[in-house]
Amino acid sequence: MYNLILFGPPGSGKGTQSDKIVEKFGFIHLSTGNLLRQEIKDKTPLGMEAKNFMDKGQLVPDEVVIGMIDSCLENNPDAKGFLFDGFPRTVAQAEALDKLLSYRKTSINKVIALNVDEDELVKRLLKRGETSSRSDDTDESIIRNRFAVYKRETEPVAEYYKEQNKLEVITGVGTIDDIFRAISSRIQKELNGAHSVSAQ
Ligand code: B4P
């Protein structure tokens, strides 16, 4: 089993790259952002609670997203691997994920972080806001708040995985295909390494 986290600030391209990665490598895609937006669309109580936080550019409480991930892991016992996109976003979520995976006798193999500067991110999100129905992408002050939350709550997660020697930072600026090639080659290298170890 191979478990990958795609990490980075809002708008760094996690969702964009995840779609291509799952198509190529066949992992199960777990995007907490997508799962939460689906709950909102279905008007569930969880979705209604989450919307209050997301509309302000705040994080949804840890216990809500950890519970969602737990049930997704539960529902996919035969997965060859998971791609975590937008999760974990706090150190508490990262610790919970480690526990959930170790309970299933597996762990995170790699964390790939997309590095993009803030002005480029604001430009991308405002552009997406013109065409998507996402209320958190249309107002620059809400976008800036998402970055402030990212710096305060999410950046320490990178340090958490760096200490475990699992973090690899790559540039998230350039064409979508070039960035995808850079990510793919890192994953392929890891998968080849895992095979040669298990073949010994
Ligand atoms: P997410 O859905 O995770 O979304 P995101 O961070 O806004 O975007 P992402 O990085 O996926 O960017 P994308 O590829 O779409 O989170 C939304 C909200 O949900 C959070 O603010 C939070 O409230 C809540 N939430 C989610 N997970 C949570 C958790 N674990 N805990 C608590 N709360 C949680 O790309 C953005 C745009 O850039 C697109 O328009 C794309 O076309 C463009 N783009 C991508 N790559 C590009 C490139 N190389 N060049 C130019 N443009 C590019």
Tell me: the pLDDT tens digits for 14-54?
A: 999 999 999 999 999 999 999 999 999 999 999 999 999 99
> Looking at 104, 128, 162, 186, which residue is catalytic?
128
Tell how far the Cα of 137 is from the centroid of ligand 1, in angstroms.
Answer: 10
What 3-state class would DSSP assign to 13?
coil
Q: Of 134, 162, 166, 186, which is the active-site residue?
A: 134
Q: Is 83 in the pocket of ligand 1 (CB under 6 A)?
A: no
First to last CA, the chain: 17
pLDDT of 162 higher than 70: yes
pLDDT at res. 200: 46
The whole-number average pLDDT for the span 55-71 is 96
CB 82 within 8 A of CB 27: yes
C-alpha–C-alpha distance, residues 98 and 146, integer Å: 25
Q: Among 6, 7, 17, 59, say which to mutate for ligand 1: greatest number of ligand atoms within 8 Å of CB.
A: 59
Q: Whose CA is nearest to atom 36 of ligand 1?
A: 11
Mean pLDDT taken over the chain: 94
For the purposes of burial, counting CB atoms within 10 Å of the CB of 177, is it exposed (0-12), middle (13-18) or buried (19 or more)?
Answer: exposed
Instruction: Say what the pLDDT of residue 199 is.
Output: 47
69 token code pair: 């991930």
Ligand 1 centre distance from Cα of residue 124 (Å): 10
Q: How far is the CA of 15 from the centre of ligand 1 (A)?
A: 6
Q: Of all atoms in ligand 1, which is nearest to the CA of residue 174?
A: 49
Distances (CA, A) of 163 to 26, 34, 124, 149: 28, 29, 31, 22
Distance 104 CA to ligand 1 centre (A): 28
What are the tokens at 74?
A: 């539960």
pLDDT, average across residues 148-169: 98
